[in-house]
Amino acid sequence: MELVVLRKVGHIEQVEFTKPVIIAWHNGKSRMVGDFRALNTYTIPDRYPIPRIHETFTQSSQAKFITAMDSLKGFHQNVLTENAKRLLRIIVHCGIFEYLKMPFGIKNAASQYQRMMNTIFPE
């Protein structure tokens, strides 16, 4: 089960109070999604720019080496602050857990992920 894996790799831990979880189905597979809609309505949008494809192609045309990478579950690479962890708790049949890494469904997840990528791979 996904929950067991997330706990084992250190992406979540058990806590005392929370928000509900929705099990979404996609292509016959289940996906665990925290119901963070209320939190997202109070979240100030982070308007961090995402690179434009033509600019990326222009920059890469001048490169000596090109590497392709697949960042599976990329949001889970972002470590959360202590304050964010308290807001990102979920409840499931076997307990209450707190995300330690960025979960799917958070309003500014894409901006945070892009900021992290720009830090790792500056121009």
Q: Does position 63 have pLDDT exceeding 70, yes or no?
A: yes
Over residues 80-100, the pLDDT tens digits come to 999 899 888 888 888 888 899
Spans of all domains in the chain: 2-120
Three-class DSSP category at 48: coil
Under CATH, which number does the domain 2-120 receive?
3.10.10
pLDDT per residue as tens digits for the range 13-56: 877 656 777 777 778 888 777 888 888 999 999 999 888 888 87
pLDDT at 101 over 80: yes
Q: Where are the beta strands (DSSP E) in the chain?
A: 12-14, 19-26, 29-34, 89-92, 95-99
Helical residues (DSSP H) of 26-107, grouped into ranges: 37-42, 53-60, 82-87
Query: What would the two tokens of residue 3 be?
Result: 């929950």
In the block, tokens 């090109």 appear at 66
Closest CA to 98 of 112, 87, 106, 109: 87
